[in-house]
Amino acid sequence: MTPAATTRPAAGHGDALIALDAVRKSYNIGRPSEAEVLHGIDLRVGRGEFIALMGPSGSGKSTLLNILGLLERMTSGSYRLGGEEVQGLDDAALTLRRRSTLGFVFQFHHLLPAFSALENVTLPALMAEGRVSATHLAHARSLLDAVGLAQAMHKRPSELSGGMQQRVAIARALVMNPPLVLADEPTGNLDTASSSEVFALLRRIHAERGTSFVVVTHDPRLAARCDRLVELVDGRIARDEAITWGAEPAHAG
């Protein structure tokens, strides 16, 4: 089923956590001309939104997510994060903004195999401050409890199932209390049951904490459980619609 096509009005800078205007991204591929991947993206992400980002392979989803995550610089345009223009910031300032504002969940969890679940969750705090404070340690424990891993926090990744490892990765993404989590195919490496459980956990965190989520997914069933669908086609936003829960987005990539 196709959700009701409700086009969302653009939020102003003041009420948007993220505001992209005319964002373009080109790559130099060793030829005299550059290859442009994103062609003038305008996007608003409001505080507390839960957004599915979809599109076929090569549509620019990963590039857009990397720009949102301050992992790549755009070629031109404006990107305001929490009201601050980030385009002119140097690498050190971008790193600080990324640590304080953004959490990341990837398809492959990237847990350190020699570390326990608890130690993996505290890594962002260790990287940001050079040590893990008692406050951060207590927060990490509470997050592992919240994701159902209170009894497994001292186990290493090899002792956990794929779904449990992804829960550790979600707790790690939240340990610095970011207002926005970017999730790139967070259930793409899981079976159907584990995928549904992990996605339900993301939705619960969103409901309880008010954290904003932008979730890249190829699965229309998961996208239908989001509140908004942004679809990229050939580097442009082809659709930006509110989703009626339980309706499956059409033409999903």
Domain boundary assignment for the chain: 48-75+91-242
Tell me: the pLDDT tens digits for 36-88?
Answer: 899 999 999 999 999 999 999 889 998 999 999 999 999 999 999 988 899 88
Average pLDDT, the chain: 84
pLDDT along the chain (253 residues), means of 10: 41 69 84 79 93 91 92 93 90 88 83 93 84 87 88 92 87 90 82 82 87 90 90 94 66 48
Fold designation for 48-75+91-242? Rossmann fold (3.40.50)
DSSP track, the chain: -PPP-EEPPPPPGGGEEEEEEEEEEEEE-SSSSEEEEEEEEEEEEETT-EEEEE--TTSSHHHHHHHHTTSS--SEEEEEETTEE-TT--HHHHHHHHHHHEEEEESS----TTS-HHHHHHHHHHHHHSS--HHHHHHHHHHHHHTT-GGGTTS-GGGS-HHHHHHHHHHHHHTT--SEEEEESTTTTS-HHHHHHHHHHHHHHHHHH--EEEEE-S-HHHHTTSSEEEEEETTEEEEEEE--TTPPPTT--
Tell me: the pLDDT tens digits for 76-103?
Answer: 999 999 888 998 899 999 988 888 889 9
Q: What is the pTM of this model?
A: 0.84
